[in-house]
């Protein structure tokens, strides 16, 4: 709802014009994405500028949206074992840095938010000097700039509070938590703090991840899923954040598998990467897979817009996206060994284990 549009009118107008809309927020950013037919640039510029300038915030909306977010938290975290494990992983890893706070918020914080908090946040951060507009498609730069100047040109910049650079101290010992959750079999996530997206070693960690988890031939995927049959899934994800993030390794264990055994096998493989150089063939295979994956992910305008916006917001330079492939190609065997040795000492390890709840002694019995 804005001063010019009733509640829900934005979505109705967009739908009538063939748009597919989406929005998301995480640790470094919030984005609003609109996929529209050709010729709708002026329309979306007008509607988005209106949302930036004239949003209506009142107690009724706060009450309604608070319940929406609380229900989302219940669905995605409180009643989702993987969501809960992820939340605990970040809170355990980052004990000083804001990345330890969940984007959805703790339930106590959601209950405590007041209307004045929302108004202050909106007036401060929803301003042209804190926004990045990305337009991808069959348009000219002249048309885009004309629409932006017309719809956003009169908006005043706001004073954005200076970014607080809180440095998370290097861990002196490993950290671990065990949770009892509604699981059919154990689930485990092992995390290591990893370089920021703009760091030159981020590409090296991406190569490391491909070596460990890429397809069926990834070292840990092959070992744990195929050879030892201790897990039904083994996967890795490298954080793409403004500051140092987490390299997450996820394992869905078989019912009879011992998490300690899996953890030992993982630690052994990570130590081996720091001790022994990988083969030239393994390195090239990982690079090829990463290049193909990136190329395939940029085959339509929506993903291209998201990636450009992500790189501009997270690293300060959208052009870094165009240099990713070159960074992958530049990774050497020595880089992989060096970064593995630096990232994977046991003291830097965070292990969060989810175990199935003990069956109720009353269930199905007398």
| Crossing angle between the packed helical segments 202-213 and 333-343, to the nearest 10 degrees | 90
168 is a domain residue: no
Q: Within a 10 A sphere around the Cβ of 356, how many other Cβ atoms? A: 15
pLDDT (0 to 100) of residue 76: 96
Output the pLDDT for position 361.
45
**pLDDT score, position 360:** 66
Count of domains forming the chain: 2
Spans in the chain with pLDDT lower than 50: 361-362, 364-366
Which of 162, 179, 193, 18 is closest to 95 using CA atoms? Answer: 193
**Is residue 158, in this structure, part of any structural domain at all?**
no
Res 364: pLDDT: 47
Query: Is there a single domain that holds both residue 129 and residue 181?
Result: no
240 and 209 in a common domain: yes
Which pLDDT does position 178 carry in this prediction? 98
Label residue 196 exposed, middle or buried (CB < 10 Å: 0-12, 13-18, 19+). Answer: middle
The predicted pLDDT at position 164 comes to 85
Which CATH number do you get for residue 88? 3.30.830.10
CA distances, 147 to each of 18, 47, 50 (Å): 20, 12, 13
Q: Give a yes or no: residue 157 inside a domain.
A: no
Determine the pLDDT at residue 358.
86
Cα separation of the two ends of the chain:
57
Do 138 and 241 fall within a single domain?
Answer: no
Residue 163 lies in a domain: no
Domain that holds residue 282: 175-356
């Amino acid at each position: 709802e804005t001063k010019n549009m009733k509640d829900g009118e934005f979505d109705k107008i967009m739908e009538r014009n063939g748009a597919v809309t989406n929005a998301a927020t995480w640790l470094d950013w919030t984005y609003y994405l609109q996929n529209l037919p050709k010729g709708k640039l002026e329309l979306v510029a007008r509607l988005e500028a209106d949302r930036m300038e004239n949003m209506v915030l009142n107690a009724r909306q706060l009450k309604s949206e608070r319940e929406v977010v609380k229900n989302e938290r219940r669905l995605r975290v409180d009643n989702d074992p993987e969501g809960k494990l992820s939340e605990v992983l970040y809170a355990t890893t980052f004990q000083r840095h804001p990345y330890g706070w969940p984007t959805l918020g703790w339930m106590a914080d959601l209950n405590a938010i007041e209307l004045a908090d929302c108004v202050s946040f909106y007036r401060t951060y929803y301003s042209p000097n804190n926004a990045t507009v990305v337009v991808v498609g069959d348009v000219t730069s002249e048309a885009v700039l004309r629409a932006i100047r017309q719809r956003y040109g009169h908006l005043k910049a706001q004073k954005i509070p200076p970014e607080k650079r809180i440095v998370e101290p290097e861990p002196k010992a490993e950290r671990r938590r065990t949770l009892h959750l509604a699981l059919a079999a154990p689930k485990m996530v092992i995390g290591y703090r990893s370089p920021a997206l703009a760091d030159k070693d981020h590409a090296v960690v991406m190569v490391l991840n491909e070596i460990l988890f890429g397809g069926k031939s990834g070292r840990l995927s092959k070992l744990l899923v195929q050879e030892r049959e201790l897990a039904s899934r083994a996967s890795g994800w490298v954080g793409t954040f403004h500051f140092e993030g987490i390299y997450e390794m996820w394992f869905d264990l078989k019912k009879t598998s011992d998490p300690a055994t899996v953890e030992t096998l993982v630690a052994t493989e990570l130590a081996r990467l720091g001790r022994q150089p990988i083969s030239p063939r393994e390195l090239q295979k990982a690079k090829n897979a990463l290049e193909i994956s990136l190329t395939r992910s940029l085959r339509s305008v929506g993903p291209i817009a998201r990636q450009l916006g992500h790189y501009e917001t997270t690293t300060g330079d959208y052009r870094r996206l165009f240099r990713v492939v070159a960074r992958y190609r530049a990774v050497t065997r020595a880089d992989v060994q060096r970064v593995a040795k630096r990232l994977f000492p046991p003291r830097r390890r965070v292990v969060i284990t989810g175990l199935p709840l003990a069956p109720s002694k009353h269930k199905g019995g007398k």
